[in-house]
Amino acid sequence: MPRPRFNPQLDILTPTRADPPDLKLSVCAMGPLEKGDEIITMHVWVHQEAEGQAAVSTGQGGVHLGGHPQAPSEIFPLKGTPQSTKWMVQTKLDKDSPQLISGKPALATAMARVRRGGAVEMEQWSQVVMVGPPHQH
């Protein structure tokens, strides 16, 4: 059975005028959700070393930061159904971190508690992703 993973490109989320001015949104981590799997909790880290800088952003499943109205794929626990086929975790920059650079690769890592077939398992995965351009979802 497939395990959780990231989309190949994670775009930088742009804040809206309604978001606090000090909110430092970063990439919106997303990936597929298998039918029948239930992600109970999830934490995401995205690291990038490019053009002489080291950047890191982090996020927690179920914590909506801003940039757009909360989507159903951000509400945890999240169960995979024919209508619910993806998960989303917004990330924000760590203190004093520069923004990730669009068009450059980054390493995305996640840890999640997943209920699958009645058993709860810890899943951990890392994947190289491309950082996409800033935009509002």
Domain ranges, ordered by start, for the chain: 9-135
The answer, yes or no, to whether the previous bond of 77 is cis (omega within 30 of 0) is yes
**Structure confidence by residue, pLDDT tens digits, 66-114:** 999 999 999 999 999 998 999 999 999 999 999 999 999 999 999 999 9
From its phi and psi, is residue 51 left (phi > 0), alpha (psi between -120 and 50) or beta? left
Note the pLDDT tens digit of each residue in 2-49: 566 999 999 999 998 889 989 999 999 999 998 899 999 999 999 999
Residue 61 has pLDDT above 90, yes or no: yes
pTM score, whole prediction: 0.93
Domain at 9-135, CATH from 1.10.357, 1.10.10, 3.30.1360, 2.60.40? 2.60.40
